[in-house]
A and B are shown apart, each in its own frame.
Chain A
Amino acid sequence: DQQVKQNSPSLSVQEGRISILNCDYTNSMFDYFLWYKKYPAEGPTFLISISSIKDKNEDGRFTVFLNKSAKHLSLHIVPSQPGDSAVYFCAAPFGGSNYKLTFGKGTLLTVNP
């Protein structure tokens, strides 16, 4: 049962424009969310996170928005750069205090020059 869902397998945007990556979750007990970026032949790299007590968290060009009532979060990248081309995963800790993560299947972002 996929508790974290990324329904868009891929997204293509032009350099300089905004990239919006979406993620939905089913478990209302989730109280923290993370985004990871993954380049080919590398492991996932932590990008940004958000606690459920917030609805927005910003770090440079990256902003994550959380809509708890809709069980939806999104990652905005502004402006998008070719180096942002990667697979983006959203994830949430589950199962109590052991902090193991459940991941979505990922969205491949391609930023065209």
Chain B
Amino acid sequence: GQNIDQPTEMTATEGAIVQINCTYQTSGFNGLFWYQQHAGEAPTFLSYNVLDGLEEKGRFSSFLSRSKGYSYLLLKELQMKDSASYLCAVSLNTGGFKTIFGAGTRLFVKA
């Protein structure tokens, strides 16, 4: 079967760095995405990893290890507006490029 695991909740302090981990067990891996979703809103795309290594985009970085089925999202210089759910998603190339989503990690940023 297909499975994506991420912590349910995390709390961090404004200005700090936080790492959100994601492990996956899927067949036909085609790439891994991270999305941000504020309460009551639609997810917005943050990053995409298809090869092993680190992808950096401003305050956000995402890492992938395909052999370990592992990814993390790193958020630096946390701001209050970063309080949201962060969804790890895997694109499969079996049955045609479907994407499955984890349940998300709710991040609370405190002052």
Are the chains A and B members of one assembly?
A: no
Binding site for B on A (CB under 8 A): none
